[in-house]
């Protein structure tokens, strides 16, 4: 499995490109900005994007979704419980002080336990509300390889804020304890901003949510 993670946009959202090397089928997670950079990386990788998925619909995670969707023709998917946030992108843009991105038609089909397929890649969806009502984490699998994408639910030694629209700190903690900490200890976790971590490290060392 090829995984490229890189910061995009003014807030440094981690965008990831996941590719099945055998088929070049790919999934993009959180195209939050810098469409030109995402496009150049996909072209270099020869990636055929099958789906664009979002850990949640804060503006820093969906800022380049519209151009990526129109360039690739891939389905762009969110959890339906976050659609209200996409509908209020102008308010989000004003709060962050960024330009209003183009909008596209989003599929609200992300659901807990859903598995998306792209070539040999499997993308398991975990609904993890708390940071936003429709926040999701993903576990990508190819053969024995696994890697998780936590969005703004879990950070290295920290957790996502819950003071924005629809945030809920009790739900966030339940999501981390019951959905993320039940994954295998050794799984690498790509977070929404900043460095990656592992499930085991956070179970032992996260000051906000420990087992």
Q: Reduced to 3 states, what is the DSSP secondary structure of residue 161?
A: coil
Whose CA is closest to 153, among 186, 185, 188, 127? Answer: 127
CB of 211 to Zn ion, least distance (A): 24
User: Helices H, strands E: what count in the chain?
Assistant: 7, 14
Q: Is 60 near Zn ion (CB under 5 A)? A: yes
CB of 191 to Zn ion, least distance (A): 9
Separation between Cα atoms, residue 9 and residue 124, nearest integer Å: 26
DSSP secondary-structure letter at 193? B
Q: Is 30 near Zn ion (CB under 5 A)? A: no
State which of residues 31, 129, 133, 192 lies at the interface with Zn ion (CB under 5 A). 192
What x/- string results for residues 133 through 172 when contact with Zn ion is judged by CB under 5 A? -------------------x--------------------
Separation between Cα atoms, residue 5 and residue 73, nearest integer Å: 22
End-to-end CA distance of the chain: 30
CB of 10 to Zn ion, least distance (A): 11
Q: How many residues bind Zn ion (CB under 5 A)?
A: 4
Q: Is 202 near Zn ion (CB under 5 A)? A: no
Q: Give whichever of 25 and 191 is closer to Zn ion, judged by the CB atom.
A: 191
- Within 10 angstroms of residue 63's Cβ, the number of other Cβ atoms is 30
Instruction: Kindly state the helix (H) or strand (E) to which residue 90 belongs, with its residue range.
Output: helix 89-96
Q: Give whichever of 82 and 152 is closer to Zn ion, judged by the CB atom.
A: 152
CB of 132 to Zn ion, least distance (A): 7
Residues that bind Zn ion (CB under 5 A): 58, 60, 152, 192
């Amino acid at each position: 499995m090829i995984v490229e993670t890189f910061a995009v946009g003014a807030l440094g959202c981690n965008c990831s490109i996941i590719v099945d090397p055998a088929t070049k089928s790919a999934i993009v997670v959180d195209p939050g900005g810098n469409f030109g950079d995402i496009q150049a990386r996909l072209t270099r990788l020869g990636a055929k994007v099958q789906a664009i998925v979002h850990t949640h619909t804060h503006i820093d995670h969906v800022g380049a979704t519209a151009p990526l969707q129109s360039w690739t023709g891939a389905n762009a998917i969110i959890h339906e419980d976050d659609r209200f946030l996409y509908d209020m992108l102008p308010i989000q843009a004003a709060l962050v002080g960024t330009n209003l991105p183009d909008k596209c038609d989003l599929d609200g089909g992300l659901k807990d336990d859903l598995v998306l397929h792209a070539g040999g890649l499997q993308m398991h969806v975990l609904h993890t509300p708390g940071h936003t009502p429709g926040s999701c984490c993903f576990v990508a699998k190819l053969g024995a390889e696994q890697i998780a994408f936590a969005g703004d639910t879990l950070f290295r030694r920290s957790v996502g804020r819950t003071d924005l629209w629809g945030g809920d700190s009790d739900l966030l903690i339940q999501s981390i304890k019951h959905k993320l900490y039940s994954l295998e200890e050794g799984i690498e976790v790509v977070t929404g901003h900043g460095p990656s971590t592992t499930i085991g490290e956070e179970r032992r060392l996260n000051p906000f949510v420990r087992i």
